[in-house]
Structure 1
Amino acid sequence: MSSTEQQPNPPVQPVYGVRHVNLPLEAKASRVPVLGTQDHAAMRALSWVRIAFGVFFAVNLGLHFNPQYAVQFAADVRHAALAAGQPHALGVWASAVLQLMAAVGISKAVALLFGIEALLTVGLLTGWGFPALAWVGLVYELFLWSTLGGLGGPYTSGATDPGTAIVYALGFALILLLRGWQGAAWSNAPLRRPDSVRVRWAFWLFGLLWAFDAWWKWQPGFLQHFASFLTSAQTGQPAWIAEWIAVFIGLGHVIGMERFAVLAALTETAIAAGLLFAPWLPQALRRAVLWGGLVYSLLLWSTAEGFGGPYGPGFTGNKGDVLGTTTVYALLFLFLLAAQVWLRRAPLPDSGPTTLPD
Structure 2
Amino acid sequence: MSKVTQTVYRWLDFDLRPPRDIPANITAPQELAFHALRISFGLIWLFNSWTASASANKHAIAQFIGVPFGAWPVRVIGNGVLLLDLILAVALLSGRGMRIALWLGVAYLLVMWVGISHTGGFNTAAGQTDPGIAPPYLIMLIITFACWRLTQPATAGHTATDEHARLAIYAMRLLFGGLWAWDALFKWHPYYLTHLVGYLTASQQGEPAWLAAYTQAWIDFITLVNPVFFAVLAALLEGILAWALITGRFLRVLMPAGFVYSLVIWSTAEGFGGPYSALGQTGMTGNMLGNAVLYALIFLTFMVVYRWPQPVEKRA
Shared fold per TM-score greater than 0.5 = yes
Match of 1:290 in 2: 255
State the percentage of identical aligned residues.
30
How many equivalent residue pairs?
283
Unaligned 5+ segments in structure 2 are: 1-23
Q: Which residue of 2 aligns with 1:50?
A: 38
SS in 2 for 1:180: helix
Matched, 1:73 2:24: no
Residue 41 of structure 1 corresponds to 29
Q: In the alignment, what sits opposite 1:117?
A: 85
**2:296 maps to what in 1?**
330
2 CA distance for matches of 1:184 and 1:55? Answer: 22
> Which amino acid is 2:306 matched to?
Q
Distance 1:335 1:164, change over 3 A: same
Residue number among 250, 269, 272 corresponding to 1:307 in the alignment: 272
Report how far residue 117 of structure 1 moved: 0.7
- C-alpha RMSD of the superposition: 3.0
Q: Which runs of 4+ in 1 moved over 6 A?
A: 101-104
Provide structure 1 residue ranges, at least 5 long, that are not aligned to the other structure. 1-34, 79-93, 347-358
Aligned residue in 1 for 2:133: 164
Larger Rg: 1
Could you say if the C-alpha distance between residues 181 and 63 of structure 1 is closer, same or farther in structure 2, counting changes exceeding 3 Å? farther
**CA shift in 2, pair 1:70/1:328, >3 Å:** closer
**Deviations 1:161-189, CA, capped at 9 Å, x for gaps:** 1011222112122234x34355479xxx9
Give, in angstroms, the shift of residue 318 of structure 1.
0.7
**Per-residue deviation at 1:57?**
0.6
1:149 paired with 2:136, answer no
Shift in Å, 1:53: 0.4
Alpha-carbon spacing, 1:221–1:180, altered in 2? closer, same or farther (3 Å):
farther
1:203 maps to amino acid: R
Structure 1 residue 148, shift from structure 2 partner: 2.5
| 174, 180, 186: which one aligns with 1:204 | 174
Q: How far is 1:55 from its partner?
A: 0.4
Distance 2:79 2:314 in 1: 45
Helix, strand or coil at the partner of 2:129: coil
Is structure 2 residue 218 aligned with structure 1 residue 248? Answer: yes
Please name the residue that 1:235 is paired with: 205
Q: Distance in 2 between matches of 1:137 and 1:98?
A: 24
Q: CA deviation at 1:98?
A: 4.0
**TM-score, structure 1 as length reference:** 0.71
* 1:268 maps to which of 226, 229, 238: 238
Distance 1:212 1:102, change over 3 A: farther
Is this contact kept in 1: 2:91–2:101, CA < 8 A?
yes
CA distance in 2, matches of 1:154, 1:62: 26
Separation of aligned partners in 1, 2:169 and 2:138: 17
In 1: Cα distance, 2:99 partner to 2:246 partner: 26
Cα distance, 1:143–1:345 mapped onto 2, change above 3 Å: farther
Q: Secondary structure of 1:150's partner?
A: coil
Tell me by how many angstroms 1:254 deviates.
1.4
User: Which residue in the other structure is 2:192 paired with?
Assistant: 222
Secondary structure of the residue aligned to 1:308 is coil
Contact 2:124 2:186 in 1 (8 A): no
| Structure 2 CA distance for aligned equivalents of residues 259 and 168 of structure 1 | 31
CA contact 1:50–1:181 (8 Å) conserved in 2 = no
* C-alpha contact 2:143 2:168 (8 A) present in aligned 1: no
2:3 is aligned to: none
Specify the code of the residue in structure 1 equivalent to 2:299: F
Gap change, CA 1:156 and 1:290, over 3 Å in 2: closer
Residue identity matched to 2:194: Q
Contact 1:297 1:326 in 2 (8 A): yes
Asked if structure 2 preserves the Cα contact closer than 8 Å seen for 1:61 and 1:114, the reply is yes
Give yes or no for contact 2:136–2:295 (8 Å, CA) kept in 1. Answer: yes
Q: Deviations over 1:10-43 (max 9, x none)?
A: xxxxxxxxxxxxxxxxxxxxxxxxx74x444333
Q: 2 CA distance for matches of 1:69 and 1:316? A: 7
Deviation of the 1:247 alpha carbon: 1.2
CA apart distance, 1:270 = 1.2
Query: Residue 296 of structure 1 aligns to which amino acid in structure 2?
Result: Y
Tell me how far apart the structure 1 counterparts of residues 265 and 253 of structure 2 sit (CA, whole Å): 18
Whether the 8 Å contact between 2:142 and 2:168 is mirrored in structure 1 is no
CA distance in 1: counterparts of 2:314 and 2:230, whole angstroms = 40
The CA deviation string for residues 83-135 of structure 1, in whole angstroms up to 9 with x for no partner, is: xxxxxxxxxxx4xx446x99861101111111111100101111111123112
Cα distance change, pair 47–296 in 1 and its aligned pair in 2 (3 A) = same
